[in-house]
Amino acid sequence: MRIILLGGPGAGKGTQANFIKEKYNIPQISTGDMLRAHVKAGTELGKAAKKIMDEGGLVSDDIIMGMVKERIKEDDCKNGYLFDGFPRTIPQAEAMKEANIGIDAVVEIDVPDEEIIKRMSGRRVHLPSGRTYHIVFNPPKVEGKDDVTGEDLIQRDDDQEDTVKERLRIYHDQTEPLIDFYSREADAGQLKYVKVDGVGSVEEIRDAIFSGLDS
Ligand code: AP5
Ligand code: ZN
């Protein structure tokens, strides 16, 4: 199964990716997590990306495509893959077609901007795995610690309110056009388009995604 998770910043893509990847036994490919790994490792790419990410902007399509093309050559992608936060622009979606990176389903998680701003301030993440928590809505078993490894959770640098607002603006401008792009492909029978209401409990949204994908 080859799936794209589409949705604004903080819509719950990372949270739901955990369930989807288990169910279909496919790797989660989060371009945001890959960039944060570069930042943490202090690579040249990481240094350039950090500045852009902290401002809420988008890293260049070429850099992102280079990363994704390398990643999907790996063995664990033979069964399919789950893209989280990719593609994010029409040029990225077109570059995927050119590179023959096929897609069976697009899952759109729809959350209003006001709700997103509330979620981001309480988010905590385990950087090595990308596992995501919320201090109120989805707390870890032990405060400040990852459930699986017990390691520390951190707050993302781009979760400041001003940065979140800029990320939302960029989402509406650059990423939302993908909704039409993939809806048209769904109308042409090329893939399945599943739109879910992203407001509700984590489990309710998970169930809505699964029933959409299974129908
Ligand atoms: P990226 O890491 O992709 O960030 P994003 O799209 O802004 O999405 P987030 O990770 O912030 O949110 P999410 O939807 O995963 O939500 P989550 O599950 O964590 O990208 C970061 C940056 O990298 C970009 O700004 C850009 O600069 C760059 N970048 C990445 N990919 C790129 C690309 N393809 N092209 C160019 N640039 C790129 O949930 C959020 C919070 O809400 C959590 O605390 C969670 O616990 C909580 N929550 C989840 N579900 C619920 C619920 N149902 N109810 C209440 N709370 C909930
Ligand atoms: Zn995420």
Which residue segments constitute the domains of the chain, with CATH numbers given?
2-214 (3.40.50.300)
Q: Please tell me if the CB atom of residue 27 comes closer than 6 angstroms to any atom of ligand 1.
A: no
Instruction: Report the mean per-residue pLDDT for the chain.
Output: 96
Which percentage of the chain shows pLDDT scores above 70? 100
Average pLDDT of span 198-203: 96
Average pLDDT of span 91-107: 98
pLDDT tens column, 20-72: 999 999 999 999 999 999 999 999 999 999 999 999 999 999 999 999 999 99
pTM: 0.95
CB atoms inside a 10 Å sphere around CB 198: 25
Return the pLDDT at 120: 92
For ligand 1, mutation pick of 123, 168, 171 (most atoms within 8 Å of CB) = 123
Q: Which atom of ligand 1 is nearest to the CA of 35?
A: 23
Of 21, 50, 119, 123, which one is the catalytic site residue? 123
Cα 141 to Cα 139: distance, rounded to the nearest angstrom: 7
Where are the strands (E) in 44-177, listed by range? 81-84, 105-110, 123-126, 131-134
pLDDT tens column, 143-182: 999 999 999 999 999 998 999 999 999 999 999 999 999 9
Nearest to 210 by CA among 84, 74, 107, 57: 107
